[in-house]
């Protein structure tokens, strides 16, 4: 299932929904946000500054290029997991 940037309708998703989606996919892939950010060359503090929280009521804007790189990394991780499970003869859930 392709759930990367090409399958998302960014006109309907706001930045907070995108950040939440990235966090959920990283959690499902069992990869820490800090490691994901290192993989794509983004400082993890930058990612956390994209989130709106009580301590950060005015989050900085995420650029599309950074979001694309994160989704590409998540898609690659999903692809590798699928290949690894197929080698073992199991199916991905």
pLDDT attached to residue 74 = 95
pLDDT: which is higher, 69 or 93: 69
| pLDDT tens per residue, range 7-58 | 455 556 788 999 999 999 999 999 999 999 999 999 999 999 999 888 888 8
The structural domains of the chain, ordered by start, are: 5-88 (1.10.260.40)
10 backbone φψ class: left, alpha, beta (φ>0; ψ -120 to 50): alpha
pTM: predicted TM-score of the whole model, two decimal places: 0.77
pLDDT of residue 63 exceeding 80, the answer is: yes
pLDDT of residue 76 exceeding 90, the answer is: yes
Task: Check: CB of residue 36 under 8 Å from CB of residue 82.
Answer: no
What's the burial of 5, exposed, middle or buried (CB within 10 Å: 0-12/13-18/19+)?
middle
């Amino acid at each position: 299932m392709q759930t990367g940037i090409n399958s998302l309708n960014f006109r309907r998703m706001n930045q907070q929904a995108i950040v939440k989606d990235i966090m959920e996919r990283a959690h499902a892939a069992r990869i820490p946000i800090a490691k994901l950010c290192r993989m794509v060359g983004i400082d993890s503090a930058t990612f956390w500054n994209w989130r709106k929280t009580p301590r950060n009521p005015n989050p900085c804007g995420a650029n599309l290029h950074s979001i694309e790189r994160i989704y590409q990394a998540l898609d690659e991780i999903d692809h590798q997991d699928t290949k690894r499970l197929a080698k073992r003869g199991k199916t991905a859930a």
